[in-house]
């Protein structure tokens, strides 16, 4: 009976983890990782310590990258320190206007920051699109790892 409860909790964590890939107030990969921990507590599936450590490191790196990829996208698309600071401020302000603020905030922040730094509008727009691409890349990476965790859940239960 306890195994069934843990499997259900695990599945709910994985679903919440997938939702957290697009909902910024839910940390998707950590919740999905927790789902695998709950599954491991059952008699049905046993993962190795190495798997848990590697997965935890991947989740930790993704969580850090999630906050920096918009800024890096802005920087690598020709943005200046003005655009980077604008992206950071836009990200923080965007958190107040969930869910769309987390997408629009870094973009507008980078554009406004570049304009304040006396860049041409086209360069400011390119910096903004770079931050948006960074956000999209981060979201895709989160989906990949959460999808992999869901795959591990299914494979673990089928065996």
Q: Which long-range contacts (CB under 8 A, 24 or more apart) does 2-6 make?
A: 2/42, 3/42, 3/43, 3/44, 6/38, 6/39, 6/41, 6/42
Residue 32: what pLDDT? Answer: 97
Residue 19: what pLDDT? Answer: 92
Distance CA 118, CA 112 (A): 10
- DSSP state letter for 44: S
Surface-to-core class of residue 145, CB atoms within 10 Å of its CB (0-12 exposed, 13-18 middle, 19+ buried): buried
Distance CA 48, CA 151 (A): 16
Stretches in the chain below the pLDDT threshold 70: none
Residue 53: what pLDDT? Answer: 97
Residue 6: what pLDDT? Answer: 95
pTM score, two decimals? 0.80
Alpha-carbon distance values, 142 to 118, 135, 137, 156 (Å):
35, 11, 9, 21
């Amino acid at each position: 009976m306890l195994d069934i409860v843990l499997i259900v909790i695990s599945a709910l964590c994985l679903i919440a983890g997938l939702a957290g890939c697009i909902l910024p107030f839910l940390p998707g990969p950590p919740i999905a990782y927790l789902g695998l921990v709950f599954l491991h507590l059952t008699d049905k599936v046993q993962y190795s310590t190495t798997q848990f450590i590697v997965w935890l490191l991947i989740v930790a790196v993704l969580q850090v990258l999630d906050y920096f990829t918009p800024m890096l996208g802005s920087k690598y698309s020709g943005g200046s320190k003005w655009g980077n600071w604008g992206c950071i401020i836009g990200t923080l302000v965007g958190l107040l206007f969930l869910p769309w603020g987390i997408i629009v905030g870094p973009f507008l922040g980078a554009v406004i920051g570049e304009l304040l730094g006396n860049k041409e509008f086209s360069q400011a727009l390119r910096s903004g699109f770079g931050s948006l691409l960074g956000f999209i890349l981060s979201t895709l990476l989160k989906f990949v790892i959460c999808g992999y965790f869901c795959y591990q859940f299914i494979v673990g239960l089928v065996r």
